[in-house]
A and B are shown apart, each in its own frame.
Chain A
C-alpha cells in the first residue's frame, strides 16, 4: 500500500502580532511549523504503516527552507520526501497549487492520498479537493477516523450536526483534522537518520504539467490588497465596584433600548 501525504510549512499564526504603529504583521521571529491538520494526516498514514506496512511519501510545495518539515516527517517515520520547489510555482493561488501537486503526484504510485483539511495561514481548505478533482479521484473531507480494509476505506467525517460514515474505494483523497489523533513525537533514532536521508528536490520540469497553468500565470484569483482591520474606537472603560458597575450597565442597556 502506497500513501502520499501532502504537508505544508506555515508560520505559527498564534504567535503573529500586529505592530500597533504601522498596522503591519510582525513576522520576524515567528517560528515555522508543520501545519497541524497535515500532521494529523501524516499520523493517520503512519498508523496504516504500523498496521499494514504501508510506504509513506510526504510531499510539499514551497521554498527551499520547507526542507525542515520534510525532515521532521522522516523523523516521525515517513519513507520518502519530495520538495516541489521552483520559481515557476511562485504566486500560485489554490487552483495553481493544487494543479502542481496533482502533476507531481500523478508520477507516483499511490493508493491513498492524505492531506490536512486546511492550513492555518490561509484557512482555505481548497487545495486538497481541487487536487482530487485534477486527479479524478473521489474525496472525503473533514476526516476524523479511518478504518482501512482491502482497498476500501470507512471514513468518519465530522459535520456540524455530528458525523457521517462514508465508504470509499481506493485510490481516493482524504482531508484530515488535527483533532483526529495525537501525532507521535519524532524518535531520537528518527531524528539522527533524518539528516542523512535524501529529500528529493523536484522542479516544474520534473512533473507532468502545462507550464501555463503554474504559479501566478495559472492563478485565476489575485490579491487586490491586504490590510489589517481598522481599529474600532473603544467605548468608555469604568474602573468601579460591582454595585456601580451594574448601575452603569443597566442605564446603558436602557439607553440602547435593549431592555
Chain B
C-alpha cells in the first residue's frame, strides 16, 4: 500500500427507506472541517435504490462530491451487499479517511469492511482531529465512559472510524453550494448474498428523537414514578422544541422507553438546555449529556455528582420546584 495514493475524506451517507439519516449530515459537517485542514475534498458515498435525488442535499450540507450507487440490491441495508459496494468504492477512489455513523447499520458494516480492507477501525468516536503530521486522531470513550483514548492508524488506509450520532455538528445548509455527482456501478458476487430480509418492522414508539430536541427535561430516580414524569412533560410542553428524557434507572424500572435514555448505553445529546431533575449523575449518564450548552440540575442531595457538571445547581425537592417553574415559565413566555 502506498499511503500517498490515498486522499480525501469520505462519508458513508446512510439512508433508510430513502431518507438520509441525520448522522450522515453531522459527519459531513465534521468531514468539511477535517478536509479543510488537509486541503482535500469531502466525498459522500450514497448507496441505495432511487436515491440519486438526495445527492444535492449532501452537497448542500458539505460534500464536494457524491458517489451514487443506485441498485435494487441496495434498497435495504444488508451486510454483504453493502460491504461489496463500499469495498469497491474504496478500492477505486482510495480515500484517506472513511467515516461511518455508529448506528446498528454502521456498526455492522464498519468492521466487516475494515477486515476486508485489512485496515484499522475505531468505534464510536466522539472527537476527530488532524495531527501535525496530517494523520487522523480518533478519540473515543472506553471503560463505560470512565476513560478516553486517542487512537491512530498511521500505516494503513483508509483510516476508518464510526462516530456516535448526535456528537458532531451539521453545517448550516447552503442551497447555493455546488458539487459533482458521480454514478458508480459495483460488480456483485451474488453467490455471497446469503442473508435474506423476511421482515423489517418499525415499532411506532411515538417517533421521538431526543437528540433533535433543543431542550431536554430529564428525570432520574428522584422523579420516581410515571406521575412524576407527567409533571416533567408539563414542563417540557412550555418550550417549543422540548422532550422528556431520563437516566438509565427509570428505563430499567420500565417507567420510560429506552429511546429516551441518555447516557453511555443510551443516547448522546447536546441540547441548548438540559434539565437534570433527580438525577444523581453516574459517570455513564454524564458521558451522554455533559456537552449540553447549559445544564440545570435539581437534586435534594447536595453531594450528587451531577452538580460537578451543572452550570446551575439547585439543592431542593424537585417535586416542589418543577410545578412552580412550569407555571412561572409559562407566564414568562406568554408575556413575549
Q: Could you tell me which A residues sit within 8 Å of B by CB distance?
A: 11, 13-14, 16-18, 25, 93-95, 98, 120-134, 138-142, 154, 157-169, 172, 219-229, 231-232, 234-243, 245-246, 248-250, 252-253, 256, 258-259
Contact = CB atoms under 8 A, between A and B. Distances in A.
Interface stretch (B52-60, B178-186, B199-207): B199-207
A49 B316 CA distance: 55
Interface stretch (B34-42, B65-73, B149-157, B225-233): B149-157
B108 A224 contact: no
Contacts of B328: 246, 250
B115 A134 contact: yes
Contacts of A231: 308
A246 B115 CA distance: 55
B142 A245 contact: no
B143 A141 contact: no
Q: Name which of B16, B264, B283 has the most chain A CB atoms within 10 A of its CB.
A: B283
Interface string B1-12: 000000000000
Contacts of B321: 242, 245-246, 249
A19 B111 CA distance: 34
Interface in B91-105: 103-104
Interface string B279-323: 000011000001000111010001000011111111111001100
B146 A25 contact: yes
The 3 A-B pairs with the shortest beta carbon distances in the complex, nearest first, are A220-B120, A237-B313, A13-B144
A139 B112 contact: yes
B317 to A, nearest CB: 7
Interface string B116-136: 101111111000000000000
A240 B123 contact: no
B314 A248 contact: yes
Interface string B316-336: 110011001100110011001
Contact of B307 (A220, A226, A237): A237
9 contacts: A123-B123, A126-B110, A138-B192, A140-B195, A158-B104, A159-B200, A225-B150, A238-B313, A246-B321
A224 B151 contact: yes
A162 to B, nearest CB: 4
B196 interface: yes
Nearest to B113: A133
Interface of B: 16, 79-80, 83, 103-104, 107-108, 110-112, 114-116, 118-124, 137, 141-144, 146-156, 192, 194-203, 215, 259, 264, 272-273, 283-284, 290, 294-296, 298, 302, 307-317, 320-321, 324-325, 328-329, 332-333, 336
A221 B115 CA distance: 13
B144 A258 contact: no
A213 to B, nearest CB: 9
A222 B80 contact: no
Contacts of A128: 111
A17 B146 CA distance: 8
Contacts of A169: 194
Contact of A246 (B83, B146, B324): B324
A157 B146 CA distance: 29
Nearest to A239: B315
A121 B148 contact: no
Contacts of B332: 250, 259
A243 B119 contact: no
B27 to A, nearest CB: 16
A237 B328 CA distance: 21
A139 B148 contact: no
Given A141-B104, A229-B148, A166 B114 contact: no
Contacts of A158: 104
A232 B312 contact: no
B195 A123 contact: no
Given A163-B203, A165-B198, A138 B309 contact: no
Contact of A172 (B153, B194, B264): B194
Given A95-B114, A259-B329, 14 more contacts: A93-B120, A94-B111, A95-B115, A162-B201, A165-B197, A169-B194, A225-B150, A234-B308, A237-B310, A239-B315, A239-B316, A245-B325, A250-B332, A259-B336
A249 to B, nearest CB: 6
Given A141-B107, A221-B153, A253 B146 contact: no
A242 B124 contact: no
Contact of B118 (A165, A220, A236, A241): A220
Contacts of B141: 123
B333 A259 contact: yes
A212 to B, nearest CB: 12
Contacts of A222: 151-154
A167 B151 contact: no
A168 B194 contact: yes
A102 to B, nearest CB: 9
Contacts of A237: 302, 307, 310, 313-315
A161 B152 CA distance: 33
